[in-house]
Amino acid sequence: MPAARTLFWPACASTRPTACGAFPCHASSRASPYRKPRPARASRSATTRPAIIFSQTPALLVLVDGKPELRQVAGSKLLRVINTPALILFDEAGATYYLRALKQWWSAKAPEGPWAVAANPPSALAAAQKAAGSHVNLIDTPPADIAEAVEAGAVPNLHVSLSPAELIQTAGAPEYLPVPDTELLYVKNTSSHVIVDVANQENYVLIAGRWFHSKSLADGP
The model's pLDDT over 23-71, given as tens digits with 9 standing for 90+, comes to: 333 323 333 333 333 434 444 445 577 889 999 999 999 999 999 999 9
Amino acid 211 reads W
pLDDT at 181 over 50: yes
**How many CA atoms, within 13 angstroms, populate the side-chain half-sphere of residue 77?**
9
Q: What is the pLDDT of residues 111-157, one digit of tens each?
A: 999 999 999 999 999 999 999 888 899 998 888 889 888 989 899 99
Maximum pairwise Cα distance, the chain: 64
Three-state SS string over the chain comes to CCCCEEEECCECCCCCCCCHHHCCCCCCCCCCCCCCCCCCCCCHHHHCCCEEEEECCCEEEEECCCCCCEEECCCCCCEEECCCCECEEEECCCCEEEEEECCEEEEECCCCCCCEECCCCCCHHHHHHHHHHHHCECCCCCCHHHHHHHHCCCCCEEEEECCCEEEEEECCCCCEEECCCCCEEEECCECCEEEEECCCCEEEEEECCEEEEECCCCCCC
Beta partners for 184?
197
- Of the two residues 208 and 221, the one the predictor is more confident about is 208
Interacting residues of 68 by C-beta distance below 8 A, sequence separation 6+: 81, 83, 84, 88, 90, 111, 162
High-pLDDT (> 90) share of the chain, %: 60
Residue 32 has a pLDDT of 30
